[in-house]
Amino acid sequence: DVKVTQSSRYLVKRTGEKVFLECVQDMDHENMFWYRQDPGLGLRLIYFSYDVKMKEKGDIPEGYSVSREKKERFSLILESASTNQTSMYLCASSFLQGGQPQHFGDGTRLSIL
Amino acid sequence: AQSVTQLDSHVSVSEGTPVLLRCNYSSSYSPSLFWYVQHPNKGLQLLLKYTSAATLVKGINGFEAEFKKSETSFHLTKPSAHMSDAAEYFCVVSDNTNAGKSTFGDGTTLTVKP
């Protein structure tokens, strides 16, 4: 089975902190994605990556950056956390070919105080 | 361009009765379509996928969906609801030219009454 592992299930940080969310997949997928999920707003794509060191902005990249130094690992960085970044963050991965399903981790529920 | 509309934000059924969750899509190309389920505080789990093979797709846990090109629909059904089916369901369209990017519906919350 595909395994997408997010490093933390719950995380509490303070405003202004630099926050790292880590995601690792074990299926040799080329694509990796970061979403945030908020009530009433559905899933919104923050960033995605289709190869090592490659990244593309999604729909809501402001306030976030990403890093992909190895194929299996995709990190989301909140440069200076703010309270409006309190959310559920979901990582996903898929093969590069179009039309492939994405496989999701269990999510990180992040609270910024 | 691609889009997906889940026609009901909430659906409530009694245990043992059929489930119907409705999804319409729009795509400039032949799309791939998916249904995912999300239980509370969990990630999304793939239920089934349509990728231009058979129009009736069977998934896990007794769910199935039928691709109807003429109606641009991909409704999810199950003959008999179980309490464990209570969750949020997402319809997803993927344009096969878009290298893996997908568009998610807003979700349908399924409640199952005993």
pLDDT in tens, B35-92: 999 998 889 999 999 987 788 999 999 999 999 989 999 999 999 999 999 999 999 9
- pLDDT at site B19: 98
Protein fold of B2-113: Immunoglobulin-like (2.60.40)
CATH code linked to domain A4-112: 2.60.40.10
Neighbours of B114 (CB within 10 A): 6
Q: Do A42 and B104 touch (CB under 8 A)?
A: yes
Rounded CA separation B9/B86 (Å): 14
The interface residues of chain B toward chain A in range 77-96, judged by CB-CB distance below 8 A, are 90, 92, 94-96
Check residue B7 and give its pLDDT: 96
B92 to A51, A67, B75, B105, B113: CA distances (angstroms):
23, 26, 11, 6, 26
Distance of alpha carbon B111 from alpha carbon B93, whole angstroms: 24
Instruction: Give the model's confidence band at B114: pLDDT under 50 very low, under 70 low, under 90 confident, else very high.
Output: very high
Domain residue limits, chain A: 4-112
Distance CA A27, CA A3 (A): 7
For chain B, how far is it from start to end, CA to CA, in angstroms? 42
Distance from CA of B83 to the nearest CA of A (A): 21
Q: Report chain B residues whose CB lies below 8 A from the CB of A98.
A: 32, 94-100
Q: Which of A23, A43, A44 should we substitute to test contact with B (largest number of B Cβ atoms within 10 Å)?
A: A43
pLDDT lower than 70: segments of chain A: 1-2
Which sequence spans correspond to the domains of chain B?
Answer: 2-113
Length of chain A: 113
Q: What is the C-alpha separation between A41 and B71, in angstroms, rounded?
A: 26
Chain A residues inside the 8 Å CB shell of B92: 102
